[in-house]
Structures are given as C-alpha cells and as structure tokens.
Structure 1
Amino acid sequence: MKTALTSACALTLLVLGWGEAEHWLASKRRLGTAPRDGRREAVVVLGYRNRGKRINAVNRWRVRAGIRSLGGPEAVLVLCGGQVGGARPEADLMAEYARVLHGYRGHLAVETESRSTWENVRNVVPLIEDADHIKIVSHSLHAEKARVYLWRQRPDLAARLVRARDYRFGEWLPVKPALAVLGRWRLRRSTAG
C-alpha cells in the first residue's frame, strides 16, 4: 500500500513537472531577432471561448497576464476575440474587465472579429504594425502557436516578437499537463506541412 502511494505521488510529481517544463520552454520559443531597442510595445492578449455574458476565468487570467507583460513607455494592450461562444465579443469582455474590474488605465485596443487563433493574428496586424516589440499572451503553448502564425503571415512583424510574462512557475499547475498535451498536438498540426 505504501509503495503504491509513493509510486502514485512520484508519478503525479513527474507529470506536473513535465507540464511545467513544457510551458516554460514554449514561453521562450519562436521569438524574434530584431534589436531590443525602441519604445513602442504591443501586448496582444488572445481570447478564450467565452460562453456567457460575464468574462470567464481563463480570459480574466489572460488579461492580468497581459497587464503584467506591459513594460514599454509607449505600450498598448491589444485584446483579441470575437463572438465565438457568446453574444458579446471576447475582446469587449476583456476590455471591460481590464478597465472596470482591474483598473487598467493605459492604452488599449480591441479586435472583435476573429473566431480562431489564425484570425486573431491576421486581424491584429493593423493594430501592431508600428510596435517595436510585440508580445503575445495566452497559455504558453497557445501563445507559441500564435507566434508560429505571425511568422507565417508577417515575418517582418514576427522578427519583433519578445517574451511575454504569461508563464509563471506554479501558476495553473494542476492543468498545465493537460494544456501541454493539447497544446503540443495543436502546435504539431499547425506546423505540419
């Protein structure tokens, strides 16, 4: 009995550690090579399917991660997402949360038409073209997928990609393994061919 419990604990720690490592590595991949100088920064926050009239927990977390990723003197928070799961665009719900419930007072832009990650990236281009640095915020493997799409659609802008602060050790720890499995599968599909 004691050996089985020890084995189960060891396996749990191994799986949690693997999920943590996958997210940490993904947060550092597919970044740009452009010089790090410049003042203008765009922090792009990708929405997550919001089914109700109120912002869901995932989108609240992503907004907070986007705000903590802001760092440039001329930074803009760009919120993305259309009416994917509910009546209101995800970007509008996230903007309301950022302003009203989180107290964000900085520059903010919304993209409310996209219904997929590919469309998020495509539709956000006019809002980030002038940025010297671009950060994409989501869970780490989803953000990496969006960076892959930006490299495909606009390599000139992808060269300006820098690391966001969406990865934090231990944050979302219980779900990171599942997000890593799903993220790796979706990333493999998006990079095939």
Structure 2
Amino acid sequence: MSEVKLAAETRSDFGKGAARSIRRENKVPVVLYGHGTEPQHLTLPGHELLLALRTPNVLISLDIDGKGNELAIPKAVQRDAIKGFLVHVDLLLVKRGEKVNVEVPVQTEGDLAAGNFLLEHVLNALPVEAEATHIPSEVTVSIEGLEAGASVLAKDIKLPSGTTLAVDGETVVLQVLAAQAEEAAESADESADA
C-alpha cells in the first residue's frame, strides 16, 4: 500500500464555471467526506493526483492549506470521456487503524492445463475489508493446471493478514471454460457442404 502526500487548498466557488476555471489551472475539484463531518470542497494539483490514482486503492495524505494532514482513499473518479483528464474526484476520509471496504484487483499466475480452454474473470476485483493503511494492492491466484469446469471461489483465495472477504465465500471469482469456436466453425462447414 502506497501513501501519497498532496497539498490541498479549500475552495469556496462552486458550479460548472468555477470547476472549469479550476481545471484550466491544471487542478482538480475534489470533495472530501466521511466520519459524519461536513463535506470539504478542495482543489488538488491535477498531474500529481492523476499519478497517485494509477495505484489501486491509494492512500492519500492531504495537507489542507498547510494546517494539518487528513488521510483519504478515492471513492469516485470522474474522467473526461474523450481526453481522459480528471474532471472531479470524491475522497473518503479514513483514520489509521480503521477498517474499510474496498475492491482489490485479482491477478493470475501460472498456465491452464494443455487444451483449448478459456479463463473467465467473473470478478476482476475482489471485495475485501482491510485496515485503511494496509490495503493490499492486489491478490494473486494460481491457475496452474486448471481444466474446463474448474472454478476458483472467493474462499479459496489466500488473503494477506488483516484482510477479510467482504463477499460470500462461495462467490465464483474465476472459472475455466472449454473453447467453442472450433466446434461452431466445423458445424458451419458441414452446413455449407450440405
């Protein structure tokens, strides 16, 4: 889990016009909320925030107007559909030692058994509960030797210490399917011959 420090400024102007002028300055309008506090409207440097958000579930240490640090995790990120720049970000306030529910990317290692098999990611990210300062960056699942019909359930995935599942253990995360493209091509050839 990486922690990124960013300098934040409070903002008092709201609406589309104010947001556009903030983005013209290469900054991003942000709302920080959580723990029953009033939402704080902030401005963060655009490039630094974009780099920080490349890490899944990044922990952001905000220095708000040079007065003190707050810890937050990204809750919602809005990007421009065409150019990809950040339009708006919602951050959730967290405390050290607090448990949070997040989704952790699922990575695979190893090779499927020999044959024409397909690996289907039913869940690309696994919902887990972890301490805010110790969120795993990913979970790795071995698919070595799996054949058609095999599946990996959430309860079968080894999680780092201090991390628990936030989904039913019987939930299918990965499954192996037999490829059917060749069979469809053969039946099309047979009907063409007839």
Higher share in strand = 2
Higher Rg: 2
Higher share in helix = 1
Q: What TM bracket, shorter-length normalisation?
A: under 0.3
